[in-house]
Amino acid sequence: MNNNNLEQITFGGGCFWCVESCFNMLKGVQSAISGYSGGHKDNPTYEEVCTGETGHAEVVQIFYDPSLISYEQLMDVFFFLHDPTQLNRQGNDIGTQYRSVIYYKDDAEKAKAEEAIEKSKQSGRWQGTYVTELTKFEKFWPAEQYHQGYYNENPTQPYCSAVVGPKIQKFKKHFGELGMLNEQ
């Protein structure tokens, strides 16, 4: 991958352990980093974010090569991995830190995000009203090191085996059939 051509996108779709793991498997993605955005405290900790009082969302910041994977394809994956109709939650993970949110850098990216939301709505995959926030990107704070690659390092941890693992298997089957995954 040519690092000079990399673009960046930041969004939240529930617990970052699953989202980060899946995006790191995609062809064209150089890295997906778990972290926090959208809050009012500098350098928040996981424990602080989990209180819901900092205003941050658990997010993943992705660096990708648009000649290998498009913004639209990344959005397809984003809407595959989480339910954009659940307000401030994903399944049993409840709190504003688990909200569905896309952080955009400029008006052009905001327009592409709006198009992706409409495309997802038209697909009929999710029933109900979409609650995905579109928010101007301001700052990304990387999560603590132990969160990076968490699922890969802890696949037998109870939450990972019960929630993250099945979601990743579904992701691998679908996007593997489309030829979008790196060779393992």
* Catalytic entry in 15, 18, 22, 160: 15
Tell me, yes or no, if 15 is annotated catalytic. yes
Tell me, rounded to whole angstroms, the distance of Cα 18 from its chain centroid.
8
- As annotated, the active-site residues are 15
